[in-house]
Amino acid sequence: MANGIIGKKLGMTQIFNEKGQVVPVTVIQAGPCVVVQRKTVNKDGYDAVQIGFVDVAGGKRASRPEKGHCEKHGVAPVRVLREMRVDAESPLKEGDNVLVNTFQESARVHVTGVSKGKGFAGVVKRHHFSGGRASHGSMFHRAPGSIGGSSDPSRVFPGIRMGGHMGAEQVTVRNLEVARVDVENNLLLIKGAVPGPRGGYVVIRQEA
């Protein structure tokens, strides 16, 4: 059994739990996925499975290298591929399906995705600097302030927090709770927010 699945973020909504409380959830189309490649210690140096997200239009949108890779392993073309570690004793093989029924309600999962891109952002938005006073005559509002000494060390150290490209990076949110599993529609409702925009792909891994 794979310890995770590829999902497509559909958006957020609310549900009621058994106590009648409103719970915000993210709706994810979790699969169906297929095992495209099985990696082993003898051949690849480690044990893992490469799974692909089976999309309705996935075969048409896949590139020629992606189609060739899938045909080599005897599966239908898929466009979104992710790799997950498995034990050497795992029975998964190429062509096997990975479905949402591997998850249980109230289970804890880790969700990995690419966060929303914000473009260029200053230090107040990007690093939560407080900035200067907003009073009349102040010349220091949203500037970063000093970034290093002049005479010593006479340079700017690497890692100094500055304005720059914000977002569009891989983010993992850990220990989220599975609120509901819809096996018929391949839907996974996860309590809270997950990284990425609507339509973005995420990887949901079960907590070890």
- For the segment 132-143, what is each residue's pLDDT rounded down to a tens digit? 999 999 999 999
- CA 13 from centre of chain: 19
pLDDT of 58 > 70? The answer is no
Distance in angstroms (rounded) separating the CA atoms of residues 8 and 55: 10
pLDDT of 8 > 70? The answer is yes
pLDDT of residue 22: 93
| Mean pLDDT within 107-134 | 94
Q: What token pair was written down for 110?
A: 């880790």
Contact 94, 37 (CB under 8 A): yes
The residue among 58, 40, 59 whose CA lies nearest residue 48 is 40
pTM: 0.83
Distance in angstroms (rounded) separating the CA atoms of residues 149 and 140: 19
Pairing assessment for the beta strands 201-206 and 48-53 based on DSSP bridges: unpaired
- What are the phi and psi torsion angles at 5 (to 5°)? -155, 155
Domains delineated in the chain: 4-119+173-206 (2.40.30.10), 120-166 (no CATH)
pLDDT of residue 70: 87
pLDDT of 57 > 80? The answer is no
